Each structure stands twice: as structure tokens, then as C-alpha cells.
């Protein structure tokens, strides 16, 4: 595994290869990231993983500062996975140049997390646009756990006619049902249990909604989540996952999208 901290030396190395399979991350690696990396390795191209906690996608400085970082452990895991390249850029390496391509931000960026984290998706698209320009990956592996993010990145790529292809990867879960997330490391045992109960509640509810749409009663669901131990709920909404229209009646392809807090820990998922 070769490690790069600046784009010049990275490009010198990777532009010699046949193409790159790229897995962008913010570190704090877990089973979700690992499954993306394993899929990337199957592509036969060289796998490049980045670790960059992007300050521009955090709407609160305190959240950026306290984001779980564990580079030592990450390095150990990545070595074991035998990835080809690791890119750990500085903020200047990423933001010290003007990208050629303008970011395209689909209007869906105003919904769900976009409503509650101002500037979040502008920050996400800004950084991915820069990574694409630096790396020119053939494939980019993204997780469905962050479905809205994945959708918006796809829209940007389509609109700007970028040649990279997005590979959608399924959500990996802990044994207790909750989606693996770097932020889970902040949950204590009791809080894990709350998150797990909320997951199963919503998982079962989705099955019932499929049969009887009137069960999608947002106020009741929010109350139930608070009773289960959530401290604040940003949203619980349903969307058809192909075109992101709200469903009005039973629709096989809909997912429940939700974001809530346990104490000050914000968790998002979709089922
Ligand atoms: P992050 O480090 O949180 O920015 O995530 C990096 C990539 O890993 C993104 O494409 C995420 O959607 C993906 N990811 C995060 N958690 C999971 C998970 N539990 N299952 C699958 N992919 C995930």
C-alpha cells in the first residue's frame, strides 16, 4: 500500500495505471467501508482509498472537531486489505486550487438532510468534484446508507458528463440492525440499544405501511421514536428511491428515510 499526502505525487503514480477504483471516506473505518473496499478490489483496477474529513460539509465546527478519527487503526485495516493506494490529503491540497468543473446541485439537495444541515451537500459535492478532478477514477464506490448523497453525486456526474461510474453498495449493518457508521463509536451500550430498537421499530413499520399506507402517520411515528429514547428527530419521510418522489400510496420501491439524535449524536439511515 502506497500512501500519498499530496496530489502531484499521487497523480504521477496513478496516471501510469489502467484506471482507478476509488473509495472516498472520512476515516473511522468500519464494516461498511470495508465492504466498499472489497467490492472495489473485485473491479480488477487498482483500488485507491481516501481519508479526508471534509470541513466544508460540517455545518457546526464542533461537529467537525469531534468527528471520530482513528488513523492508526484505519492504516492497519487498509494494509490488511491490501489496497493499492491511500490518499490522505491536507485541506490545502484539496482546496488550494480552482476546479475546472462547476458543481451541479440537484434540487433534491434541499430535502431531507439538506433541510437540517445547511450547506452540507454543497460541501459534499465540492469535495467530490475536486477528488474526481484529481483522481479521474473509472469507478467510485458509494454506500446506499447515505442514499441522498449518492443520488446527488450521480446527478452531478450525469449533468457534467463526467466519465466516472458510480457503483452503489448495499448498507452494512451491525448484528443489532443499526447501520454501521463512524458515529456509532460515540454510542454507549444503552444508546446502542435505543438505536437498535428504533431500527427494528421502523423496519417492521415499513412492512406494515406496504400493506396499509395510512400507517404512515409522521406525528405518531415521531412520538413513538421519542418514546423509544430518541432525543430529537430531524425527519422521517418516505420516497420512491428511483426518482425521489414522495409516495402517496403503497409503492414497492419506497424507503423510509430518517435522521434523529440520541443525546447529541446524529444518526441517519434508510430502510
Ligand atoms: P463516510 O466515511 O461516512 O463519509 O463514508 C464513506 C463511504 O462509505 C460513503 O460512500 C458511505 O455511504 C459509505 N458507508 C458508510 N456507512 C456505510 C454502511 N453502513 N454500509 C455501506 N456503506 C457505508
121 and 33 housed in the same domain: yes
Instruction: Provide the domain count of the chain.
Output: 2
In a domain, 176, yes or no: no
- For ligand 1, the distance from its centroid to the CA atom of residue 145, given in whole angstroms, is 6
> Which of 22, 24, 25, 154 gets mutated to test ligand 1 (max ligand atoms within 8 A of its CB)?
25
Catalytic residue among 30, 33, 120, 156: 33
Residue-averaged pLDDT of the chain = 96
pLDDT in tens, 47-87: 999 999 999 999 999 999 999 999 999 999 999 999 999 99
Give the mean pLDDT of 242-271: 90
User: Would you call 13 exposed, middle or buried from its count of C-beta atoms within 10 A (0-12, 13-18, 19+)?
Assistant: middle
Determine the pLDDT at residue 17: 95
CATH number at residue 207: 3.30.1300.10
Whether 155 has a pLDDT exceeding 90, the answer reads: yes
Consecutive H or E run containing 143: strand 139-143
Q: Are residues 14 and 119 both part of a single domain?
A: yes
- Residue 177 domain-assigned (yes or no): no
Q: What is the pLDDT of residues 164-177, one digit of tens each?
A: 999 999 999 999 99
Q: Is residue 152 in contact with ligand 1, taking CB distance under 6 Å?
A: no
pLDDT at residue 252 is higher than 80: no
Among 139, 169, 199, the domain boundary falls at: 169
The alpha carbon of 2 and the centre of ligand 1 are apart by a number of angstroms equal to: 22
Quickly state the pLDDT bin for 239 (edges 50, 70, 90).
very high
Parent domain of 265: 182-270
The answer, as to whether pTM is greater than 0.85, is: yes
- Whether residues 154 and 217 fall in one domain: no
Pocket test for ligand 1, best of 123, 143, 172, 180 (most atoms within 8 A of CB): 143
| φ, ψ dihedrals at 257, nearest 5° | -110, 130
Q: Is 253 exposed, middle or buried (0-12, 13-18, 19+ CB in 10 A)?
A: exposed
Q: What is the number of alpha carbons within 13 Å of residue 73 lying toward its C-beta?
A: 9
Amino acid at each position: 500500500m502506497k500512501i500519498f499526502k499530496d496530489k502531484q505525487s499521487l497523480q504521477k503514480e496513478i496516471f501510469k495505471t489502467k484506471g482507478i477504483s476509488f473509495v472516498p471516506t472520512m476515516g473511522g473505518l468500519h464494516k461498511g467501508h470495508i465492504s466498499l473496499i472489497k467490492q472495489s478490489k473485485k473491479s480488477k483496477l487498482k483500488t485507491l482509498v481516501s481519508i479526508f474529513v471534509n470541513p466544508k460539509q460540517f455545518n457546526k465546527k464542533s461537529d467537525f472537531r469531534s468527528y471520530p478519527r482513528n488513523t492508526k487503526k484505519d492504516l492497519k485495516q487498509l494494509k490488511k486489505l491490501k489496497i493499492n493506494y491511500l490518499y490522505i490529503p491536507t485541506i490545502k491540497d484539496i482546496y488550494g486550487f480552482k476546479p475546472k468543473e462547476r458543481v451541479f446541485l440537484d434540487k433534491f439537495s434541499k430535502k431531507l438532510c439538506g433541510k437540517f444541515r445547511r450547506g452540507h451537500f454543497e460541501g459534499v459535492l465540492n469535495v467530490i468534484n475536486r477528488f474526481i478532478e484529481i483522481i479521474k477514477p473509472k469507478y467510485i464506490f458509494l454506500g446506499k446508507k447515505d442514499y441522498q448523497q449518492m443520488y446527488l453525486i450521480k446527478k452531478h456526474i450525469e449533468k457534467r458528463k463526467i466519465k466516472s461510474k458510480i457503483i452503489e453498495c448495499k448498507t452494512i449493518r451491525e448484528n443489532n440492525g443499526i447501520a454501521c457508521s463512524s458515529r456509532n463509536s460515540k454510542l454507549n451500550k444503552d444508546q446502542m440499544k435505543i438505536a437498535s430498537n428504533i431500527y427494528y421499530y421502523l423496519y417492521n413499520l415499513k412492512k406494515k405501511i406496504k400493506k396499509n399506507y395510512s400507517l404512515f402517520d409522521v406525528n405518531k411515528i415521531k412520538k413513538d421514536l421519542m418514546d423509544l429514547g430518541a432525543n430529537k428527530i430531524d425527519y422521517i419521510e418516505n420516497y420512491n428511491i428511483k426518482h425521489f418522489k414522495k409516495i402517496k400510496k403503497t409503492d414497492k420501491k419506497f424507503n423510509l428515510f430518517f435522521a434523529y439524535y440520541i443525546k447529541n449524536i446524529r444518526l441517519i439511515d434508510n430502510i
